[in-house]
A and B are shown apart, each in its own frame.
Chain A
Amino acid sequence: DQQVKQNSPSLSVQEGRISILNCDYTNSMFDYFLWYKKYPAEGPTFLISISSIKDKNEDGRFTVFLNKSAKHLSLHIVPSQPGDSAVYFCAWVSGGTSYGKLTFGQGTILTVHP
């Protein structure tokens, strides 16, 4: 079974700086990882994904890096903005698609200070 671990419960960053959120996984067999952002009293919203055939995917201020040898992925937000303050989850998608069932990490609370 795939396990997804986010070992940092929280991260505090100054506005304009880079935020780096980390995620580790246990099983080398996967097709997609997704990153979600969650505000209080709202459901998670999709941010960015990465497939196993890539080592990087970029969308505006958000870049996800995949290191398969280390079984590690990271989300970079540059530059960080106060509106980015939220809980960030990485999630593994089972079934070889980008829309199947998700296994989430525990989440990291990001606080961006003005």
Chain B
Amino acid sequence: DAGVIQSPRHEVTEMGQEVTLRCKPISGHDYLFWYRQTMMRGLELLIYFNNNVPIDDSGMPEDRFSAKMPNASFSTLKIQPSEPRDSAVYFCASSDRVRGYTFGSGTRLTVV
């Protein structure tokens, strides 16, 4: 298995632009999580899905952030419009009750 695959690895964008981060979870995992890592707040959960259904989005900072999981093999996290304070590393992770958690390598987002 290739693990959790995130794209792009790095993204630099201008303030006000739309940014879309992508994630392919491990096949068969029924949970998918989006985390964000910043110096100030550390690693924090943004949203998670179970069987493609959003379960808890209380960590999504504001309406500019949205996440979708149209099928079991793909999820997106969108920021529109982006702001400099959104600069962070965004991690996707997937899990199931047998194999536990696996994190992707992350997307480093820089908003200038």
Contact = CB atoms under 8 A, between A and B. Distances in A.
B100 A98 contact: yes
A105 B42 contact: yes
Given A99-B31, A99-B97, A104-B43, A43 B105 contact: yes
Chain A interface mostly: loop
Interface residues of B, number: 22
Contacts of A101: 33, 45, 48, 56
A97 B98 CA distance: 11
Chain B interface mostly: strand
A101 B49 CA distance: 10
A51 interface: no
Interface residues of A, number: 19
B104 A103 contact: no
Contact of A43 (B42, B44, B91, B97): B91
Contacts, number: 49
Contacts of A102: 33, 35, 43, 45, 101
Contacts of A34: 101
A107 B105 contact: no
B109 interface: no
B4 interface: yes
21 contacts: A41-B106, A43-B102, A43-B103, A43-B104, A43-B106, A44-B91, A45-B103, A46-B100, A97-B97, A98-B97, A98-B100, A99-B95, A99-B100, A101-B45, A102-B33, A102-B101, A104-B42, A104-B43, A106-B42, A107-B42, A107-B43
